[in-house]
Amino acid sequence: MKMIKLPTLDFEQRIKQELEENPALESGKENDPLDEQDNFDDSSDYDDNEYINADDINVDEYLSDDDIPDYRTKSNNYSEDDQQKTIPIAAETSLSQHLINQLYGFRFESEELEIAEFLIGSIDDSGYIRRDLGQIVDDLAFTQNIMVELDVVEQVLKRIQHLDPSGVGARDLQECLSIQLQRKSRTSDQAVALLIIDNHFDLFSKKHYDKLMSKLELTEEQLKSAIAEIERLNPKPGSSFAGQNKNIEQIIPDFIMKIVDGDLDLKLNGRNAPELHVSHSYNEMLKGYKASLDKSKAQHDAVMFIKQKLDAAKWFIDAVQQRQQTLMLTMSAIMAHQKEYFLSGDEKDLKPMILKDIADEINMDVSTVSRVANGKYVDTPYGTKILKSFFSESMTNDQGEEVSTREIKSILKTLVDQEDKKKPITDEQLAIELKNEGYPIARRTVAKYREQLDIPVARLRKQL
């Protein structure tokens, strides 16, 4: 079950680990097929009371390093001709280092410089100081032995807020936007934008545009221009530094699906089907011992070790094969259930499908299907999709047909995309629109689907 759960990349690492830990397991094509029945006879053949002259069979000869390829003794386990397997990482400057480098352009007293460095260390990846300055004052006293008043820390923070990128060191979004606007040349639009942010941020954030125009005596065009200035600001000034020095994750599909002559063709990604076999040399070792009439206690222990490794190798190969069969069986059932969708690519053709539907189809437990669907991807003619996306609950439309909730969400998203942004559609109106489309669902359900689609409420979708 653990093998089934692994996605392709993790599965490859598991194969690599097993090959390194078990010398009786080998990869690649096998030149001399083994007699598996001889490999795994019952260990009852070995009796602790049976002994032979130790000179008859030398265990050290069987376990000699002479048969170990040179490349296996190297630390990186690669030939000199192999390409470099590591991914180089560019050494970029972090946000903290970037800010500290700028500190030397200011005149700070020794203690102020320590406070400034401490404050910079408290700035998160987005460029904000989220902690209360009172707590920072306490930390300075306990960890740095710097006794300082709150107003001194605030003065140092104001100087940090003059560093680049603009807006860094802010304690909330309002202060961040205000800092950026204050550093601009201050056109009439920027002046209005600064007035809105500093004095009427709550009205702006809730998009009460009518109240803003009334309070500031602005026309709609003036307000629209001021908002355009605000939208050009960066709400996360530290984001350009966040995430550097990280490798880009790559999605490796576990299945490959194609349309061939109007029908679906499914294959398991070749990286999920490694060529594994039991070591022929270890098998010959075991045969050699079994052919002997007598055995010493030390040699018996060596035989048991070899047999343990052979059994583990056979078990692992069987587990890999069962994994392949379970993956293909489950994905084939999903493909058959969603055949219309895979042929058309239209989400409206997605049928309602839950884990139990597939589990019943292939006579397996729901937990097994869940393990297959979790974190696995399939390469389709319409892009690489995660298997979980094909599962959805059902509801009955006005014609008595069961439809997928994904179909409803797709229509809901289309309605929101096409709405008049000056007068966004409320959840109540969306429920009416969906009912007109043949999907009678309650307003509460509409709100749930809207939140799942990360669509804000109507008031926050309003634009001028």
Highest mean pLDDT among 42-56, 70-84, 126-140: 126-140
When comparing pLDDT for 64 and 396, which is higher? 396
Whether 325 shows a pLDDT value over 80: the answer reads yes
Record the tokens describing residue 133, joined without a space: 């300055």
Give the per-residue pLDDT at 396: 66
| Sequential DSSP letters for 429-457 | HHHHHHHHTT----HHHHHHHHHHTTPPP
What average pLDDT does the segment 222-244 reach? 83
Q: At 402, is the pLDDT very low, low, confident or very high (cuts 50, 70, 90)?
A: low
Q: What span, in angstroms and rounded, lies between the C-alpha atoms of 450 and 250?
A: 30
What average pLDDT does the segment 328-341 reach? 91
Which residue in the block uniquely carries the two structure tokens 């598996």?
Answer: 36
Q: Which CATH number fits domain 394-461: 2.70.98.10, 3.20.20.60, 3.60.15.10, 1.10.10.60?
A: 1.10.10.60
Give the domain ranges of the chain.
92-244, 394-461
| Low-confidence winner among 67-81, 98-112, 275-289 (lowest mean pLDDT) | 67-81
Q: Torsions phi, psi of 277, nearest 5?
A: -150, 165
Amino acid at 128: Y
Which residue in the block uniquely carries the two structure tokens 């007293």?
Answer: 109
Give the per-residue pLDDT at 398: 63
Whether 73 shows a pLDDT value over 80: the answer reads no
What average pLDDT does the segment 348-375 reach? 87
Q: What span, in angstroms and rounded, lies between the C-alpha atoms of 198 and 161?
A: 16
What average pLDDT does the segment 81-85 reach? 41
Q: What is the pLDDT of residues 366-385, one digit of tens each?
A: 888 888 888 889 999 888 88
| Sequential DSSP letters for 278-323 | E-HHHHHHHHHHHH-S---HHHHHHHHHHHHHHHHHHHHHHHHHHH
Q: What is the pLDDT of residues 147-164, one digit of tens each?
A: 889 988 899 899 888 988
Whether 64 shows a pLDDT value over 70: the answer reads no
Give the per-residue pLDDT at 330: 92
Whether 22 shows a pLDDT value over 50: the answer reads yes
Closest to 166 (Cα-Cα) out of 239, 89, 244: 239
Q: What is the mean pLDDT of the chain?
A: 78
Task: Please tell me whether the overall predicted TM-score, pTM, comes out greater than 0.85 for this model.
Answer: no
Give the per-residue pLDDT at 331: 92
Give the per-residue pLDDT at 277: 80
Whether 252 shows a pLDDT value over 60: the answer reads yes
What average pLDDT does the segment 408-431 reach? 85
Whether 333 shows a pLDDT value over 90: the answer reads yes
Q: What is the pLDDT of residues 156-213, one digit of tens each?
A: 899 888 988 889 999 999 999 999 998 887 788 888 889 999 999 988 888 888 888 8
Give the per-residue pLDDT at 107: 80
H-assigned helices in 6-44: 8-21, 36-39
| Sequential DSSP letters for 393-419 | -EEE-TTS-EEEHHHHHHHHHHHHHTS
| Low-confidence winner among 237-241, 246-250, 430-434 (lowest mean pLDDT) | 246-250
Give the per-residue pLDDT at 336: 92
